[in-house]
Structure 1
Amino acid sequence: MSQNRWRSIFIPKRFLLRLTIINIIVIVAFVMLSSWAIYNTACMLADGLFSMSLQKQNQFEAMLFQYLWIFSISAVILGSLIHFYLMKKVMQPLKKLIYSTKKMKQGQYPSPIQVKENGEIGELVCHFNDLAQQLATNEQQRKKLVSDLSHEFRTPLTNLNGYLGALQSGMIEGDEKLYQSLYAESTKLTQLVEQMEQLKEWENMKNRTFDNKVPVDMKEFIEKSIEIFHWSLEQKGIELEVDIHSGIVDIDQTSISQVLSNLLDNAIRYYEGSNAIIVRGEKLPAEYRVSVTGLGRDLSEIDKEKIFERFYRTEPSRSRELGGSGLGLAISKEIIERHKGKIGVQSKGNIHTFWFILPYT
């Protein structure tokens, strides 16, 4: 058995021993003080109530002193044993918690710790189990995503290398169709790199603070944020309807602009239909509501529940042409919640409305 394993076993025992010794000292002090008080009180009462000779008085005091010593030692021993047993039982979940924490430190994800306590220790263990499960799920999804991205990188790179090698050797000559194919492959690589950037952005988001909030007129802000998408909309022949009201909200402009970009980019990327994409900004009594409505494939109930989770991708987004990292909406959710707002999706058939609300203060 390794030294670290021995340490993980003996550290709780040493703590339990120290805690037991401290409590024994407290018990002994309390019992001795109580015995001394009882002894003196009994001697005073006996002396005042009964007329005894000096010899009998000494015998009474000696017998009382002896019994008090016996009862005191018995109380200390019994109390210490009961205390040690109860503390050992209480410390058992903490011992498992330490062992599981060490396994997580080594990159392993332990099984959930079984605990029966309903107090603070039970609550701590339950939170630890939830944390371990979430970390294990995130790690599994991250590995799957990296594996998917690696596989998707390989195909366009292979195609590009093949075409360029053939051009270099003179086996084929360049024409418009070939250049379009090369451009398509390079576009796929660009999208994959953007997805990898989102992974890095998610890691930065966890430690980011939104201290740069300023009062902003949402009408001007939204119109400016969506201006960059006009070219993409024209290329795909998609109309854009804008209905935005003025409203002053304290926001971090960079992050909220990112949320708008994520929602509108998704609406364009997964667009299927002939109607316009609609961007609305509504001034409500206590909050400002922004929504992006567009046509796309039907979303299942599971998709609606998990679409804002990290690394979750709906079925259409798993394809190489439309593939996303599964982080755009998760990052958007994190940003909105950091602004003390809410975000969600509503669907009627293949018409989907992604919305978020921001409080005025």
Structure 2
Amino acid sequence: MKFIRNSLRFRIVATFIGIVVVSLVLTFIVQNDFGKNTPNDAMSNVAEDVAALILLMDDPHQLQTGLRVFEKYGMNITLVNKQSEVLASLPEEQVRTLFEPGRTKAVIFKNQNGVATVGVPGRSEGDAVLIQNDFSPLFHTLRQTLLSSLLTVLIIGSLFILLMSRFIVKPIKQLTAAAQKMSSGDLTVRLKYRNHDEFGELMESFNQMARELQKIDSIREDFVSNVSHEMQSPLTSIRGFTKAIQDGLIPPEEQKEHLEIIYEETLRLSRLSDNLLRLASLDSEHHPTSFRLFQLDEQLRKIIVLAEPQWSTKNVNMELELLPCTIEADEDLFDQVWQNILGNAIKYTDVGGSIYVDMREGPSGVNVHIRDTGKGIPQEALPHIFDRFYMVDKARSSSLKGNGLGLSIVIKILNLHECTIDVTSAVGEGTEMVITIPRKRLCL
């Protein structure tokens, strides 16, 4: 019973029936009030016309016939004068008004409960026509007709609303069933609809939500798979070499080399852990930021100097063309941006290659160009280079100590600062990345 009361279909039907019942009651109240007071003007006009007809009948036989005819229609007509006893029950003041010299208009004595008594002055002074009209049968008939009509509307309307409520509630039941499937893990559920009304919009929003959840679930699965893979490889190396050293399978003179490998693998795990923690912090949208003014050109020089052991070892030619530029941003996060981008440029530039870093002022802000003469990126891979764990050449990236998270961190930090990055590349010619810092971040 409680389920029925909580049903939307039940509430729709109950609301409709309630509205009809209230309308029925209000209509009867208004109709009863109207029946108690018949419109006076219309009643006076009818009485005057009837009295005129009666007074035209001189023949007593015709007069009696006429009175009987009017009696059939609920009119009791009496010819009276000042001394008539029938006037004794009527208000004296109104009787006196009826017999005023020169009066031609009707006088209404009573007009209550559907019964009206009207007096009309006669042709000669001291005579009058008293007409009593009983409208109650007419009102009773109207009331019965109205009651029948409203009951018919109530019954037929209730049946129709009961039928139509099924179609109104059907989309909600579909949404409920789809939501239950989704809660059980089925993210492939989709709703079909024909009408583009409010329910259609709701179903389309549900489908859009399901698509986004499915996409997020796919990203989550890929993320877990990639993290597991990235962690499994160094852990396998560490476990294998430590076990071999522990069991004495590796001679003492070779153990240092294998310990170096173990150390490098632990560093690789540490970098992966740091990057994952940084990405998680940036994803939370509550990453602590400290915006302040600093010299962008000096920051770039510092990053390049700190990376000198990497690019000088490969005999890479580093060329700089920087402009004095002060920006308002989080300096530590921008350090991470330049470290990741320059680190990739150094990593993928062959021995004897070149890297160019220059700053230019553009119409929308300051552009930082970082171009290398490395092996380049295939065109089909360019749309994916900012995806997490995406590596153009997985085998080579592993040997170069990469995990595919560097550029994901870069794009997150740049978005946080409302900056943009554009990448152009050609296989065998190198890659250029252009970071645009908007004017709102510049201190001019």
Shorter-chain TM-score bucket reads 0.7 to 0.9
Output aligned runs, 1:94-243, within 5 Å.
94-100=176-182, 102-103=183-184, 108=185, 110-116=187-193, 119-158=200-239, 160-161=241-242, 164-165=245-246, 169=248, 172-174=251-253, 179-180=256-257, 182-207=259-284, 208-209=286-287, 211-243=289-321
Contact 2:189 2:210 in 1 (8 A): yes
Pick from 307, 315, 329 the counterpart of residue 407 of structure 2. Answer: 329
The verdict on how the C-alpha distance between 1:284 and 1:246 changes in structure 2, with shifts beyond 3 A counting, is farther
Q: State the secondary structure of the residue aligned to 1:288.
A: strand
| Deviation, structure 1 residue 264 | 0.9
- Structure 1 window deviating more from structure 2 (70-79 vs 28-37): it is 28-37
5+ residue gaps, structure 1, are 1-12
1:163–1:90 CA distance, 2 compared to 1 (3 A): closer
Q: 2:165 matched to 1:83?
A: yes
> 2: CA distance between counterparts of 1:14 and 1:321?
64
2:9 matched to which residue of 1?
20
* TM-score normalised per structure 1: 0.80
Cα deviation, residue 318, structure 1: 5.7
Residue 61 (structure 1) aligned with residue 143 (structure 2):
yes
Q: 2 CA distance for matches of 1:135 and 1:14? A: 36
Q: Is the alpha carbon distance of 1:31 and 1:280 closer, same or farther for their aligned partners in structure 2, counting shifts above 3 Å?
A: farther
The answer to whether the 8 Å contact 2:318/2:356 transfers is yes
Question: What SS does the aligned partner of 2:399 have?
Answer: coil
> Which of the numbers 143, 149, 152 marks the counterpart of 1:70?
152
What SS does the corresponding residue of 2:350 show, helix, strand or coil?
coil
Q: Between the two structures, name the one with larger relative contact order (CA 8 Å, sep ≥ 6).
A: 1
**C-alpha displacement at 1:180, in angstroms?**
4.5
Q: Which runs of 5+ in 2 are unaligned?
A: 44-72, 75-134
Contact 1:217 / 1:246 at 8 angstroms: preserved in 2? yes
Change (3 A) 1:23 1:306: same
The residue identity in structure 2 corresponding to 1:187 is E
Contact 2:244 2:250 in 1 (8 A): no
RMSD of Structure 2 on Structure 1 (CA): 3.3
Contact 2:424 2:432 in 1 (8 A): yes
Once the two structures are TM-superposed, the CA of residue 15 in structure 1 deviates from its matched residue by 10
Letter in 2 for 1:259: V
Shift of 1:335: 1.4
1:93 is displaced (CA, Å) by 2.4
Amino acid in structure 2 at the alignment position of 1:191: R
Inter-partner Cα distance in structure 1 for 2:392 and 2:250: 41
Cα distance in 1 for partners of 2:23, 2:408 equals: 63
For residues 260 and 26 of structure 1, the distance between their equivalents in structure 2, rounded to whole angstroms, comes to: 66
Q: 1:78 to 1:279 in 2, by over 3 A?
A: same
Residue aligning to 1:354: 433
Which structure has the highest strand share of the two?
2
Q: 1:282/1:99 Cα in 2 relative to 1: closer, same or farther (>3 Å)?
A: same
Structure 1 residues 310 and 39: alpha-carbon distance in aligned structure 2, compared to 1, 3 A threshold: farther
- Alpha-carbon distance in 2 for matches of 1:139, 1:315: 22
Equivalence map 1:224-263=2 (5 Å)? 224-263=302-341
Q: Structure 1: how far apart are the matches of 2:378 and 2:171?
A: 47
Are the equivalent residues in 2 in contact too, given 1:113–1:129 (CA < 8 A)? yes
Q: Please say which of residues 30-39 and 349-358 is displaced more in the overlay.
A: 30-39
Which digits, 9 at most, give the CA deviation of each residue in 1:234-255, with x for residues without a partner? 2222221122222333211121
TM-score between the two structures when normalised by the length of structure 2: 0.66
Among 262, 268, 277, the residue aligned to 2:346: 268
Q: 1:213 touches 1:252 (CA, 8 Å); kept in 2? A: yes
Q: In structure 2, how many angstroms separate the alpha carbons of the residues matched to 1:355 and 1:191? A: 28
Largest Rg, 1 or 2: 2
Distance in 1 of aligned mates of 2:390 and 2:4: 43
Change (3 A) 1:16 1:323: farther
Aligned residues: 340
Q: Report Cα offsets for 1:158-189 as digits up to 9, x if no partner.
A: 553266347xx5973427xx644542452233
Identical columns (%): 17
Sort the Cα spacing of 1:285 and 1:111 in 2 relative to 1 into closer, same or farther, 3 A: same
- Secondary structure of 1:320's match? helix
Which secondary structure does the structure 1 equivalent of 2:433 belong to?
strand
Partner of 2:127: none
Tell me the alpha carbon deviations over residues 98-134 of structure 1, each in whole angstroms, 9 at most, x when there is no partner.
430x23xxxx453242343655413422332232222
**Structure 2: distance between partners of 1:255 and 1:153:** 28
* Greater Cα offset, 211-220 or 300-309: 211-220
Looking at structure 1, the residues matched to 186 and 340 of structure 2 have their Cα atoms a distance apart, in angstroms, of 33
